[in-house]
Chains A and B, each alone.
Chain A
Amino acid sequence: MICLGIEGTAHTIGAGCVRDTAGHCDVLSNCLRTYAPAHGGIHPREAANHHAIHLADLIHESLVTAKITPEDIDLIAFSQGPGLGPCLRTAATAARALSLSLNVPLIGVNHCVAHLEIGRGTIPDCTDPVLLYVSGANTQVIAFAEGKYRVFGETLDIGIGNCLDKFGRMLDLGFPCGPKIEALANQGGRYLPLPYSIKGMDMAFSGLLTAAEAYYRNNEPLPDICYSLQETTFAMLTEVTERAMAHTEKTQVLLGGGVASNLRLRQMVETMAKARGATLFVPTKDLCIDNGAMIAWLGIVMHASGIRMPLEDSMINQRFRTDMVEVSWR
């Protein structure tokens, strides 16, 4: 079976084709464009306009790259939520139109669950991981327990990516700020104390962001602030992930989301995993960030387990919680 997946929850619009080969995910194509605001944060309408402009070309590109024709497509999947309404609606509308014109089934999927399933689908040894999902909007520690993907820890205020972006915007680093903060942090080495805020298994980043901004206003060297910002926030993420692993007694950890590209974060999670005798898995970068292939793969997984979605149930859900998904395929 071949599925075309359309991702459109926030900055990224993506179209990807995947094939199910005996339960393994073969990524045939994974094309995307990213909306970068000229200044400030994401503007939902502007992002949706960007997506609408690029989506038709992207779908074409994803078919050409996959070396398939529209007739080869057996299933259309799209990101049903969570995300920004205008972006979700743009992707969903395109998916519905394709499903109707090609006369193939349509399936809406949960974006956060897709980040986890793409790890399980593309990495053979990754069977039952705790996912540390770190992106702009989302910061969640997710694992399968009692029939659902449950959130064992999450941010109580802003996502880690958003925290880094907000700090970077103050410095006019340009979107996305993460890689630039990482490069600056690599030049720093003096630790400036920042609040370390863990409540149970949940985290808070906004106070720490304010403290980092105060260091900047007090003319502390930027590399040291970036270094301290990364060291503190990533230690919090790693600690919560370890707590979830201890609680669920799982021995695999998976990274997902744009911030998973950060090498220092990977190093910290890997050190933690090794100390516990656990294994770290990181999907390839194009599958870590928001992308259409992961949406397509979750579509296949859900369809194979018998889930069908009538057109009238394909409304988007901006607040689609990870633990709202009935996981019938595990």
Chain B
Amino acid sequence: MTHQILYRGAEAEIRVSTHLGKDVVQKSRLPKHYRLPEIDHTLIAYRTREESKLITEARAAGVSVPTLYDVDLLGGVITMEYVKGRRVKDILNTLPEPERKNLCILIGKSIALLHNHDIIHGDITTSNMIIADGRVTFIDFGLGSKSIELEAKGVDLHVLMEAFESTHSQHPSCFHDVFEGYKQVFTGDADEVLKKIEEIVQRGRYR
């Protein structure tokens, strides 16, 4: 079967397919010929396994994620629910202010749910969130991990902060709103996470 490519990212292709009568997407990690096969095979299998584990755990944590149908470690393919909606990246800049604020708060709450269960998404950008049925569905846990460290949670949020700065710079309050939502739900000390983020910013070169 050949299937329509929905999205071709840097790391993987997302194809539309069907599985047991349902619309699904298949995320295939493509071999990268620029790197050694030893590195490539290890990374692809590791990232496929970690991603499918994290998606399952995120669902248990109460965060909206695609339902998993099948995982092929050697082939680097994850078959999952086709979440039909729009990327936050594509709509955030056009939303009216109150809605944008609400969306950012909702995003913050979801990230806190992940962090409450020590799930680190690893690539929280606005390209990796889909709005469907009034929910924010998180996709692409491909760089995710589990960690109890404050540092990891700080870095996780810092990635989003940088995404806001580079892609949504005309709305400087976005990250603040995300953190407001985060603080409401995070069971740890949110102020400590914020301190960590500031520390990470300072640690970056030439700040």
Q: B125: CB under 8 A from chain A?
A: yes
Q: Is the CB of B36 within 8 A of A247?
A: no
**CB-defined contacts of B11 to chain A, threshold 8 Å:** 239, 242-243
Q: B76: CB under 8 A from chain A?
A: no
> Known interface pairs A196-B43, A246-B9. Does A239 touch B32 (Cβ–Cβ under 8 Å)?
yes
Q: Is the CB of A201 within 8 A of B159?
A: yes
**CB-defined contacts of A109 to chain B, threshold 8 Å:** none
Nearest neighbor of B200 in chain A, beta-carbon distance: A156
**CB-defined contacts of A191 to chain B, threshold 8 Å:** 36, 38-39
> Known interface pairs A137-B205, A150-B165. Does A245 touch B10 (Cβ–Cβ under 8 Å)?
yes
> What distance in Å separates the Cβ of A138 from its nearest Cβ neighbour in chain B?
7
Q: A61: CB under 8 A from chain B?
A: no
Q: How many residues of A contact B (CB 8 A)?
A: 45
Q: B50: CB under 8 A from chain A?
A: no
Q: Mark A129-159, 1 if CB is under 8 A from B, else 0.
A: 0000000011010000110101110111101
> What distance in Å separates the Cβ of A134 from its nearest Cβ neighbour in chain B?
13
Q: Bound complex: CA of A58 vs CA of B80, how far in Å?
A: 63
> Known interface pairs A137-B205, A154-B204, A199-B155. Does A235 touch B10 (Cβ–Cβ under 8 Å)?
no
| Interface SS majority for chain A | mixed
> What distance in Å separates the Cβ of B160 from its nearest Cβ neighbour in chain A?
9
**CB-defined contacts of A98 to chain B, threshold 8 Å:** none
**CB-defined contacts of B38 to chain A, threshold 8 Å:** 191, 193
State which of A152, A157, A198, A268 has its C-beta within 8 Å of the C-beta of B166.
Answer: A152
State which of B9, B143, B207 has its C-beta within 8 Å of the C-beta of A198.
Answer: B143
Q: Which residues B36-72 have CB closer than 8 A to chain A?
A: 36, 38-39, 42-43
Q: Is the CB of A200 within 8 A of B205?
A: no
The 7 nearest A-B residue pairs measured at CB: A200-B159, A235-B35, A246-B10, A271-B34, A319-B206, A268-B34, A243-B10
A contacts, CB < 8 Å to B: 81-82, 137-138, 140, 145-146, 148, 150-152, 154-157, 159, 191, 193, 196, 198-202, 231-232, 235, 238-239, 242-243, 245-247, 267-269, 271-272, 275, 318-321, 323
Q: A146-B167, A239-B11 are in contact. List 15 more A-B contacts (CB 8 A).
A: A81-B206, A146-B166, A152-B166, A159-B205, A191-B38, A196-B39, A200-B125, A201-B162, A231-B36, A238-B32, A238-B34, A246-B10, A275-B32, A320-B206, A321-B206
A-B contact pairs, 16 of them (CB 8 A): A137-B205, A145-B166, A145-B167, A146-B166, A156-B200, A199-B155, A200-B122, A200-B159, A201-B159, A235-B39, A239-B11, A246-B9, A271-B33, A272-B32, A319-B207, A321-B207
